[in-house]
Amino acid sequence: MRAGLVWHGPRYPTPIDYAEDRPRQSPSAMTPLTISILLLVCAFVITVAYVAVDEHS
């Protein structure tokens, strides 16, 4: 148990609990949502670049 995390009984901690636990969390924290968005953007950029190179050849 981390200090500051309130125990509400046998249930999974909600994002609100984590937000209260880490008030000084940096905005650039690598959350699963951030990672998935970055992966989608990278895949999109790679696809666009591949299509552009393929059209020029």
- The pLDDT-based confidence of 40 (bands split at 50, 70, 90) is very high
Instruction: State both tokens at 16.
Output: 């609100």
Nearest alpha carbon to residue 31 among 51, 50, 39: 39
Average pLDDT, the chain: 72
With 0-12 CB in 10 A as exposed, 13-18 as middle and 19+ as buried, what is 43? exposed
- The pLDDT-based confidence of 50 (bands split at 50, 70, 90) is very high
pTM for the whole structure: 0.43
